[in-house]
Structure 1
Amino acid sequence: MKVLVFSSRSYDRAALIKMPTDHALFFTERRLTKETVHLASGHDAVSLFTSDDGSGTVLDMLHGLGVRYVLLRSAGYDHVDIQKANTLGMRVAHVPEYSPNSVAEHAVAMLMAVNRKIIQGQLLMQLQDFRIDSLMGFDIHGKTVGVIGTGKIGRAFANIMTGFGAKVMAYDPAPNQEAIEKGVQYGTLQALLSECDVISIHCPLKAETKHLFSHENLKRMKAGAILINTSRGAVIDTVALIESLAAGHLGGACLDVYEFERGLFFEDHTNESCLDANFIRLRSFKNVLITAHQGFLTQDAVEQIAGTTLENLNRFSNHLACSNELTVWKSEVANRQN
C-alpha cells in the first residue's frame, strides 16, 4: 500500500521509518485540509494527526481520490467524522494506548512550573534580580487534587499525585476499581470543583464534555486553584477561562492544548503576527503556562504510536479484524465509558 502521512514531523518520520513494513510511506508536513487533500491522490491510505481535518467533506474528497484507509496517530478521534467514514466504507483506526506516563508527567511538570513559579524565577535570574518575594507557591503534599477522567492517563496522574502525598478526588461517570484500590475517592463534579486545590483534565472531547469548564463551573472552583488541561482544548471555554484569570479567581492554568489550536500549533509562525486575540491574552498572564500540545512527545510514546499505526495498517491491508478500528457503535460505547 501507498500511505501519505499528513502533518508529519521529524520525530514521526524517524519513528515510522525505523519500523519494519512492506508498505510505501510518503510524508508531508502539511495539514490535511480541503486545500491539501489533493496530495493524497494515488495513495491507498492516509495517516492523520490531531491537527488534521477529518470532517465529512474531506473524507468525501479522500474517498473520491481512492483512499480507503485512515490511520490516526492519536488516541483521540474527535477530528474525524467516524459515521461518514463508515458510510463511505473507509476503515479508520486509532492508537488507543501509548505511554500514559508521557502525558501525565507533562501535566505534573507544568503544575510544578506554575505553582513554584519556575519560569518567572528563571526570568528574574537572567535579569540578575535575585529577589524571591514574588515566587511563593504551595505544597502539593496535603492538598486535594482533582482528576477529571480516570482512564490510563488520568490514573497515571493520580498515582503521581498520591506519591506527592496529596488527597486525590476524581470525577468520572464510570469509576475505575484500580483507582479506588489506590486511594482515589470518586465524587460529584460539584464537590470536586469546590474542594480541590488543583484540577487536572483527562477526559475525551465529546458533546457532554465540550465547555465542561464553563463560566459557571469555573466560578465554582476553589479560589486560587490551578487548572491543568492536557486532553482537548475545547473542554474549557477559553473566554470564560480568561475572565476567571483576569478576575484573579483562578490561581493559574497549565494548558498543553488550546480550544483554537488547529492551524496554530505544530506550525512555524515565527514571521507572522498572531491574530488570535484570545491566545494573545492567555499568554499575557504570568500564572499561565502554555505548551503546544507536546504532552505526548517522549521517545517511548512516539515509538509506540508508530508501531501501533503500522500494525493497524497491516491488519487492514490483510483484510483482518483490527481491535483499534473505529466504528460508530464502538465510538458510542467508548463515549459512554469515558
Structure 2
Amino acid sequence: MPAAPDGPLGIGELAERAGVTVKTVRFYSDGGLLPETARTTGGHRRYGPEALDRLRLIRSLRSLGLGVPEIRRVLDAGDDADRALEDAVAGQLRALGGQLAALRWREAALRLVRECPPEQRAGRLRLIGTVGAPPSTAPLARFWRAWLPPRMPSRAVTAFLDAAVPQPPADPAPAQVLAFARLNALTAGPCPGHTRPQPAAHRTADSRAAAVLYAALAEAYELAGVPLRRGRAPAAGEALDCFVGAYSTAYGTRDTPGFRRALARELAADPRLDQYWDLVAEVVTPPGARPEPTPGTAHDWLLTALTAQTAA
C-alpha cells in the first residue's frame, strides 16, 4: 500500500491513491462528504492527508450498499461513529432481507405459473396478481378485526391476530404462494354462505368477556396442538377441560355435564370457517411435511372430543 501522504493532495492524486475516478471524488466533495482544505489560485481543489482514509471509508460503505445519507451520519457521528455504523449496517441488513424475501416470493410465484396446466395460468395470474411480493397480511387482519366483537381490548385483539393471521413463509414453495393468494381472495370478499359469520359466543359475552374467552381458547388450542402433532384421536383431557372452561368462564356459569351438552350443540351449529383454516395450514406447512396445527384444526379436534364425551 502506498505510504500515507504528508502534504496536500490534488484531486487527481487523491483519486489515484484511493482507486476511484476524479468524477467520484468531485461528487463526494460537492456533497459535503469529503471536505477540501483549500483551493489553488487556479481554483484546483486541495485535500489534506486525512482525506485519503475518509475517501476509502466512503468507498467501503458504498460497496456495502449504504446510501449517501447513511454515510453522512456515520462520518458526522464523531465519538459515536461505531454506534452510527452499527445502526447503518443493521438498517441495510433489514432492507436487504426485505429485498431477498421479495425475490424468493417472486421466484415461487413464477414457478407456480410455469408448472400449472396452460388452461389454469390465466386464473392463477389474476390470483397472485392481487398480492404483493412479499405479500401483506393487512387484508387478513382487517377480515378478523371486522369479525371480532366490537370494543374488544386492543391487547386481546393483537393476541388473537397473532394466532389467526399466518405470516408468509420466508422461502415459499409454489403451493404456499397459491394458498396465500387464495387466502387473500377469501378474506377480501364476504364470508361465503353466511351473512353473520360470528359464533354465538360473540353474542353471549360482552367485549371484555370475549377477550377472556379468546385468551383461554388460545391456551386450549396450544394444549390440543400436542396430540394433534402426534396424530392422536380426539379425546377428553386437559385440553378439553381448558376448552370448555373458556366458555363457562365467559358465560358466567359452571362447567357441568348439562353445560357441556349444550355447548357441543351450540358449537356444532356455529358458522364454519374451515376453508380459511385449511388454507392457513397450507401456507404455514412446507410441502411434504406433517400439517401444522392451526386454531381451526385445534378447535375441530376439541369439538369432536366434546361431542364424543357428551354423546357417551
Query: TM-score scaled by structure 1?
Result: 0.21
Structure with more of its chain in helix, by fraction = 2
TM-score, normalization: structure 2? 0.22
Higher relative contact order (CA 8 A, sep 6+): 1
Computing the radius of gyration from Cα coordinates, the structure with the larger value is 2
**Higher strand fraction (1 or 2):** 1
